[in-house]
Chain A
Amino acid sequence: MLFNSLQFFIFFPVVVFLYFVIPDRFKYIWLLAASYYFYMNWNAVYVLLLLASTVITYTGGLLIDAAEAGKEKKNGKTDKKKTVLITGCVINLGILFVFKYAGYTMELLTLAGEKAHIGINIPVYDIILPVGISFYIFQALGYLIDVYRGDTPVERNFLRYALFVSFFPQLVAGPIERSGNLIRQLREVHRFDYERAREGILLMIWGYFLKIVLADRIAIVVDKIYGDPGTYGGVYLIVATVLFAVQIYCDFAGYSTIAMGAAKVMGIELMDNFNAPFLSRKVSQLWRSWHISLTSWFRDYVYIPLGGSRKGRRRKYLNIFIVFLLSGIWHGANITYVIWGGLNGLYQVIGEILMPVRNRMVRLFSLNRESIGHRALECIFTFGLFCFSLVFFRADGMTSALRILRSVFTVHNPWILFDGSLYELGLDSKNFHLMLICIAILIFADVLKKKGICIRKVIAGQDYWCRVLVMVAAICFILMFGIWGSGYDAAGFIYFQF
């Protein structure tokens, strides 16, 4: 069930209504049932994977806690805890590997066999990727590690723990919540709060705007260009890549924002997943504002355990690089994702290495780093680097990515920006202009967010009629200008008279 489906618009109000009217002791059980129903709408069988991951990490948590509380010798206790942790991680990552990476690995092995003229016949299984598997497995693993470290108390109520892993607003696309934040809230009793519900709905409206007005509209242009890079070369590909950066941001942030809003209506605060990433002045800053829940997950559970920046400069660079390679792999089973992640890691390593040189240049030329021009240039440069890496993220494969990059640098067609060619990419001029206006709205909102101004709170501070009109207008705007529904073909009506 997608957030922008008719089913969800029936499902969500029903879930919320019953959540607030049933007795407190059943509330979390109701949410658990709703979450499993939500998940089973995609593929009922795959709920078994969700359940398996839940059972394994739940049992792992109990075993770690038991080992902690046991009377074994200190060394023995540590070994047992570690064994449980490692077993839990291996099984969960094994599930993730089988369902997300096995197919691609088999393909690579077969290809390698062919190159080496080894006649191996590796069966390739076409496994459908279970929705949200990367999210809920990472969330469950986070819990297990937290319990191991003693950062969070073990959850003994299986149903409540199962709800933590499967909480429907963030189940399939994050944010990847931390046990310390979410389980605690799931233990609390929530009463309906008018202001909080209103704020949640405003968040959902903003999320829908990002997703169905912006991301899905931009996708039409991006898909058209990236679908035929042979025809659309040079500046077309630059436009498409820049738009793709905005698309992926709006898509991901939109979904996360809807999740935050939906949870907020029910009294649960999820972490903010994006914080105006494209206004970042450095790649490392961009990554601290982009998919925050995943970046911080890697920071806390991979980067810091690897030694972080505590073991010298070289080790720090290596750790950064490892984390970003893993982040790339997490995003998809293809070498292009690895390169995308690697590039972003490389940017940061190079940025760190060049830092003294940059500082010297700034002093030498007496540059004011806080001037608007300097800041804008830094933002644009950072955004440009990110866009470059996105070519690998978006292209269908390595060959395609390299062909696209070659085309960007060799095909000369800047006139397409002025001669109306951009209106022939699936969006007519009105839709294209609407897209640009909406991007301007997004930038405006992000600038305000960066300045610490919360638009929701500004709206909430207005009088009743203003609030109501803004909300009604926003909903109508999304319904009218969003890319949803079957759409119609004007030419279809031409035949009416015959």
Chain B
Amino acid sequence: MDNNGTLKVKRILSFLVFAVLLVIAVRACTLLTEHKSSRIKYTDFLDNDTEYDCFLMGTSITLNSLLPMEMWKDYGIASYNFGSSNCTPAEDYYILREAMKYKKPELVVIDMMGVVEFNDIGNGKYMWTQVEAQHTQFDCFPLSRTKAEAVNDLFDIYEDRNDFLWSYIMFHNRWSELEEQDFNWKNMLNVEKGALTNTGTLGKAYSKSEPTGETISLKGVNYDYFIRLVEYCRQEGVDVLAIYLPHPVETLNRQVANSIGAVAAQYDNLEYINMLDLDILDYDTDFTSDNTHPNLSGALKLTDYIGQYIREHYELRDHSSDEAWLKSESKYHEYKKENITSQKALPYYLVQLSDDEFTASAYIYNKEFMRDEWLMELFDNAGIKPEYKNTDTDKNADKETNTDTDFLKDADAMLDIRDEVNGETIEKAYFKYQDDTDYTDDTEAEDRDIFKLIKITEEDTDASEE
């Protein structure tokens, strides 16, 4: 090779090295700045060898309601929750196709709320006001023909849809708000198998409509995609269980919920449960403050119902003793413990304690709270019987044995929380009613806001004394 030839080869190699370094550097920037929500939700599904026989799909109601780890614990069912905020059946269809490239389920459970909710928004196929949520659903799936098809179809009205193919287009300006999660996301992976329980929120739900037997003709873009999903599953030999998860709904939702049964009759791989009026949830104890989403207590009840139904109606393998699931269990248990101890007020504690892996002894030092019906309902829902202790007598008696006596003087309630799995005490939580209002009679006391029974710690007491 002459000098010219050598020079040419050298330059081609130089350019290739430059190109490779550039690709690596840009990839590193992409990984650094991307929002980690998608990886946190799906890494457990994509990277592990764990088998999943059941995919749970739908909106945030599915995300918050159906807990795969509980379903496995109680029924040995291996499921993964793909539910996501404002996820339409059109998105479910593509997420399912992407997910099935990795693991093929025997059953897909899908919530039908999306069939009616999104049709009038944008092109009906995605919530155009909240494209960030769609990034959680799709970003972790690598670039592929299916993904390109999904992006072009779902986001056809979104001018910047290329950012679904290369998320850096959207996220590169996150450099100014990088946080621990961006560097340490592998230690923050979702331990609920895709689900997300609502914590720190509780409210009395109220009904928006009366039960009805009316039906309507199903139509709209999301109904079409639901049918596409069912047919795709039939092609792949997968059963579909359509459900309408219970929450306060409008009459139209009821009519839709009543109408899906007729559709199910047309497909041999489709079953349907209308759960709206099955009286599974208690409107006083099982919802968050938004009158829509279930809290942990509601989620446990719904998961139990669906788990039992699947176990009785489908022949899914029992994964109770699978090594991978057993490994996940301890992390999940720790996560639940943290969820309990991180609560700020007594009612939230009681929601978390509706989980039968934990229990507590409860002491109330202020009689007025014993008369609060909602609080007592929450205790009852958690399976805890609170005990009243007179401040002057019982509390003084405690002083002799309890090292926290000074601290106890300030408390209106106390929970002695135990882990039922290993019998260990997790926490002794003290609560004090923190309100400036001066209540003078019992009537007013009944109006007390139980969310003001705030957890106090020894540090809080010291600080207030100072």
Contact = CB atoms under 8 A, between A and B. Distances in A.
B130 A490 contact: no
Interface-central residue, B84, B132, B290, B293, by most chain A CB under 10 Å: B132
A486 B136 contact: no
Contact of A497 (B35, B162, B196): B196
A375 to B, nearest CB: 37
Contact of B37 (A473, A481, A496): A496
A377 interface: no
Nearest to A477: B29
A471 B63 CA distance: 45
Contacts of A472: 18, 21-22, 25
Contacts of A496: 37, 60, 84-85, 132-133, 136, 196
A489 B292 CA distance: 24
A479 B172 CA distance: 7
B25 A468 contact: no
Nearest to A491: B132
Contacts of B169: 484-486
Contacts of B26: 475-476, 479
Contacts of B17: 468
B132 A488 contact: yes
Contacts of A475: 22, 25-26
Given A492-B133, A496-B133, A497-B196, A481 B175 contact: yes
B171 interface: yes
B330 interface: no
Interface string A415-441: 000000000000010110000000000
A490 B177 contact: yes
Given A485-B172, A487-B173, A490-B177, A497 B198 contact: yes
Contacts of A468: 14, 17-18, 21
B22 A495 contact: no
Nearest to A482: B172
Contacts of B168: 479, 485
B173 A476 contact: no
Nearest to B8: A194
A247 to B, nearest CB: 18
B11 A194 contact: yes
A26 interface: no
A366 B383 CA distance: 95
A365 interface: no
B175 A493 contact: no
A480 interface: yes
A45 interface: no
B170 A497 contact: no
B29 A479 contact: yes
Contact of B160 (A428, A469, A486, A489): A486
Contacts of A484: 169, 172
Contact of A498 (B21, B85, B174): B85
A116 interface: no
B180 to A, nearest CB: 15
Contacts of B29: 476, 479-480
Contact of B63 (A483, A485, A487, A497): A497
A495 B133 contact: yes
B163 A485 contact: yes
A487 B170 contact: yes
B458 to A, nearest CB: 32
B64 interface: yes
A464 B15 CA distance: 11
B131 interface: yes
Contact of A480 (B14, B33, B162, B177): B33
B235 interface: no
Nearest to A496: B85
B117 to A, nearest CB: 13
Given A472-B18, A492-B133, A497 B175 contact: no
A490 B33 CA distance: 12
B130 A497 contact: no
Interface in B171-202: 171-177, 196, 198
Given A488-B132, A492-B130, A476 B25 contact: yes
Nearest to A434: B176
B131 A492 contact: yes
A464 B132 CA distance: 41
A122 interface: no
A488 B131 CA distance: 9
Nearest to B159: A486
Looking at B29, B136, B171, B176, the one whose CB has the most chain A CB atoms below 10 A away is: B176
A364 interface: no
Interface string B142-164: 00000000000000000110110
Nearest to B174: A488
A6 interface: yes
Contacts of B60: 496-498
Interface in A232-251: none
A475 B28 CA distance: 13
A59 B253 CA distance: 72
A489 B136 CA distance: 13
Contacts of A471: 18, 22
26 contacts: A464-B14, A468-B18, A468-B21, A472-B18, A472-B21, A472-B22, A475-B26, A479-B172, A486-B159, A486-B160, A486-B170, A488-B173, A490-B174, A492-B133, A493-B136, A495-B86, A495-B130, A496-B60, A496-B84, A496-B136, A497-B63, A497-B64, A497-B85, A498-B60, A498-B198, A498-B293
Given A488-B171, A493-B133, A497-B60, 11 more contacts: A428-B176, A472-B21, A476-B25, A485-B163, A486-B170, A487-B170, A493-B35, A493-B37, A495-B85, A496-B37, A496-B132
Q: Which 9 A-B pairs have the closest CB atoms?
A: A492-B132, A486-B160, A485-B169, A430-B176, A488-B170, A498-B60, A476-B25, A486-B170, A194-B11
